[in-house]
Amino acid sequence: MSDASYTTQVESPEASFGDYFALLKPRVMSLVVFTAMVGVLVAPTALHPFESFAAVLFIAVGAGASGALNMWYDADIDRVMKRTAKRPVPAGKVTAREALAIGLFLSVLSVVMLGLTANWLAAGLLAFTIFFYAVVYTMWLKRSTPQNIVIGGAAGAFPPMIGWVVATGSISIEAALMFGLIFMWTPPHFWALALFMKSDYHQAKVPMLTVTHGRKETRRHIWWYTVALAPVAIWTALSSVGGPMTLVVFTVLNVIFLKGAWDIWRRDEATSEADEYAVEKKVFKFSILYLFANFGVLLAEAALKLVGLGGW
């Protein structure tokens, strides 16, 4: 087949490099890069900076691979939801088969390279994370249970734990606490989003808590999960990766988050619709800041330890 005959078959606009990159969910990757990097840097054993850089990069590539697999499988519901309709597959820029091929290739590449760069426990955890996000969450839980976000949140919680294992070669209580921090944070974060993106999940028939149990129940769940998040955060601040500064900042952040969750719980739909979900949107935005600030403080605490300050 000549080039000329090939071009006549191209109907959709040509996918750019950026479209393929978008398959990897760059915004999710930025969170993965940051939390994995913190996991590496707060660990008690120092790794060569280049090995740390490469390890975090391969963790991010693994996360991107699971994003591509998610876009391959979820193209049908992404097409329906306003928030996701412009993703490369539903927009028709990249075919689902390409997304699958890229996802599988990058999954294998990232796991093997992380194993060679760091250790095979870290690589195994990365492989499990990809499996958990692509198979357990995307293929199974997302379409079958309102607890999809709760259990699926584990996939997003693994990066700092993998980062810690990259540096130390083993799982410890600190790694589990950093995992717990993201795991407990995910439900209130996503449910706040679901409250103001209400028609999306309904149309796509995704059994979000708002769809299956109603919006009042979702508000109650946001409050109780935020309550459960607080002790995990405080325990993390009291562990060996924390210190006085971490404890103060974590306490302030959790008080603000709890206040926001309380405000969401006490509101009814009429009030929310009147101000176009101002509080829900504010809490959702704050929840992103909350996570970046939490891990940023852990990093700052580790930096202070280097100069003889910080830590317990």
Quick check: 15 binds other proteins (CB under 8 A)? yes
CA neighbor of 283 nearest in space, from 262, 260, 250 = 260
Residue whose pair of structure tokens reads 């996991």 in the numeric block: 39
Q: Total number of residues binding other proteins (CB under 8 A)? A: 17
Q: Candidates 117, 168, 226, 239: give the one binding other proteins (CB under 8 A).
A: 117
Separation between Cα atoms, residue 83 and residue 309, nearest integer Å: 45
Q: How far apart are CA 253 and CA 20, in angstroms?
A: 36
Find all residues with CB under 8 Å of 36, minimum gap 6, and list them.
Answer: 55, 56, 59, 60, 159, 160, 162, 163, 166
Among 1, 9, 11, 17, indicate the residue that binds other proteins (CB under 8 A): 17
Return the number of the residue (93 or 189) whose C-beta is nearest other proteins. 93
Cα(77)–Cα(174) distance, rounded to whole angstroms? 37
Establish if 6 lies at the interface with other proteins (CB under 8 A). Answer: yes
For residues 276 and 172, give the distance between their C-alpha atoms in angstroms, rounded to a whole number.
Answer: 44
11 or 17: CB nearest other proteins: 17
Closer CB to other proteins, residue 115 or residue 296? 115
- The correct pick among 85, 101, 116, 228 for binding other proteins (CB under 8 A) is 116
Smallest gap from Cβ 3 to other proteins, in A, equals 5
Binding segment toward other proteins, per CB under 8 A, in 50-58, 203-211, 221-229, 262-270: 50-58
Q: Is 108 in the site for other proteins (CB under 8 A)?
A: no
- Is there a contact between 173 and 62 (Cβ–Cβ < 8 Å)? no
Give, in degrees to the nearest 5, the angle at Cα 41 between 39 and 42. 70
Give the chain's length: 312
Select from 28-36, 45-53, 234-242, 247-255 the region that touches other proteins (CB under 8 A): 45-53
The reply on whether position 289 binds other proteins by CB under 8 A is: no
**Interaction site with other proteins (CB under 8 A):** 3-4, 6-7, 14-17, 20-21, 48, 50-51, 54, 57, 116-117
